[in-house]
């Protein structure tokens, strides 16, 4: 499904968190929303998921206006959000958490198990952990459960809010590569991340949010190959010389770069564009 965001504005009282946001996430592609803390990534995903009513603008799904449609209705139609911080039920087992993902779908019994098995094919560690309490898992495993809990619904649009947050570099890469694999013919993926270099290595398209506006948007390979972009947003990546600055996705990058995150524009001492 094609997700189209047109001239979106989100406010919290007098605070304008997002303005003039236009972005398209296409079927079979993973689109990244990159930005520092407070840039507006969560606000954008929540607006798309029907959890925050936009002050202006439209959100279209395959051409149908879904602006203001409540979250439960959108979720039933296949638009699913994996929230920041996983938000699992710590006291419940992995299996129980995954079954919670099917809440309200009417899928039960053998069909529910089928959905769970299907969702776990991407995560070989999960089948052996079904009886464990979610709160006792590592951060990486918890993130896998959070994604699998969304997958049991067989989403057509998957929104992920900072799936790599708090994970070790090796797991960051693993989770982000999984995110890319999810972007198949049937799933449209929009992933919010602060981990710029690691994310651009795996997604198809990237858009950078700064102070509630999109300040850069292009194919991931083009962004990584753009010297001005890498100097501005990845800092030391440009210092690696040509090999680094023009590196297309899937090229090995030094580990410290995989942890590169954006800092709020006002803290960088630069005027935002």
Binding site for ligand ATP (CB under 6 A): 12, 15, 17, 35, 37-43, 84
Q: Of the two residues 51 and 125, which places its CB atom closer to ligand ATP in the complex?
A: 51
Among residues 83, 34, 43, 40, which one has the least CA distance to residue 195? 34
Q: Of the two residues 5 and 39, which places its CB atom closer to ligand ATP in the complex?
A: 39
Min CB(100)–ligand ATP separation in Å: 23
Give backbone dihedrals phi and psi of 68, rounded to 5 degrees, phi first.
85, -5
Among residues 33, 62, 28, 79, which one has the least CA distance to residue 187? 28
Q: Of the two residues 85 and 104, which places its CB atom closer to ligand ATP in the complex?
A: 85
Q: Of the two residues 11 and 154, which places its CB atom closer to ligand ATP in the complex?
A: 11
Q: Of the two residues 80 and 192, which places its CB atom closer to ligand ATP in the complex?
A: 192
Residue ranges of E strands in 91-243? 157-161, 188-193, 205-210, 213-219
Q: Of the two residues 39 and 221, which places its CB atom closer to ligand ATP in the complex?
A: 39
Min CB(211)–ligand ATP separation in Å: 8
Min CB(25)–ligand ATP separation in Å: 17
Min CB(18)–ligand ATP separation in Å: 7
Among residues 22, 26, 17, 89, which one has the least CA distance to residue 46? 17
Q: Of the two residues 47 and 224, which places its CB atom closer to ligand ATP in the complex?
A: 47
> Is 132 in contact with 90 (CB distance < 8 Å)?
no
Q: Of the two residues 41 and 180, which places its CB atom closer to ligand ATP in the complex?
A: 41
- What is the rounded CA–CA span in Å between residue 31 and residue 160? 10
Min CB(39)–ligand ATP separation in Å: 4
Q: How far is CA 108 from the centre of its chain?
A: 28
Min CB(36)–ligand ATP separation in Å: 7
Min CB(190)–ligand ATP separation in Å: 13
Among residues 182, 147, 164, 191, which one has the least CA distance to residue 25? 191
Sequence-separated contacts (24+) of 171-176 with Cβ below 8 Å: 171/139, 171/140, 171/143, 172/198, 172/258, 172/259, 173/198, 173/202, 173/258, 174/140, 175/140, 175/143, 175/144, 175/147, 176/201, 176/202, 176/203
Min CB(154)–ligand ATP separation in Å: 27
Question: How distant, in Å, are the alpha carbons of 57, 147, 209 from that of 231?
Answer: 32, 33, 16
Neighbours of 89 (CB within 10 A): 14
């Amino acid at each position: 499904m094609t997700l189209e965001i047109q001239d979106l504005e989100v406010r919290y009282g007098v605070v304008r968190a997002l303005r003039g946001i236009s972005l398209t996430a296409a079927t079979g592609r993973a689109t990244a929303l990159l930005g520092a803390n407070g840039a507006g990534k969560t606000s954008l995903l929540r607006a798309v998921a029907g959890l925050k009513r936009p002050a202006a603008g439209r959100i279209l799904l395959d051409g149908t206006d879904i602006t203001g449609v409540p979250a439960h209705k959108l979720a039933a139609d296949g638009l699913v959000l994996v929230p920041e911080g996983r938000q699992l039920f710590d006291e419940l087992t992995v299996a129980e958490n995954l079954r919670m993902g099917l809440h309200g779908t009417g899928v039960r019994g053998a069909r529910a198990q089928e959905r769970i098995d299907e969702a776990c094919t991407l995560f070989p560690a999960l089948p052996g952990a079904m009886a464990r309490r979610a709160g006792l898992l590592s951060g990486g495993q918890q993130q896998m459960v959070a994604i699998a809990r969304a997958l049991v619904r067989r989403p057509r649009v998957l929104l992920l809010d900072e799936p790599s947050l708090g994970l070790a570099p090796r797991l960051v890469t693993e989770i982000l590569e999984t995110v890319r694999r999810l972007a198949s013919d049937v799933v449209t993926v929009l992933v919010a991340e602060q981990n710029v270099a690691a994310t651009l290595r795996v997604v198809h398209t990237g858009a950078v949010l700064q102070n509630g506006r999109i300040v850069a948007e292009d194919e991931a390979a083009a962004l990584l190959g753009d010297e001005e972009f890498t100097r501005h947003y990845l800092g030391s990546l440009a210092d690696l010389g040509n090999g680094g600055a023009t590196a297309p996705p899937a090229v090995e990058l030094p580990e410290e770069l995989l942890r590169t995150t954006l800092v709020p524009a006002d803290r960088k001492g630069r005027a935002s564009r």
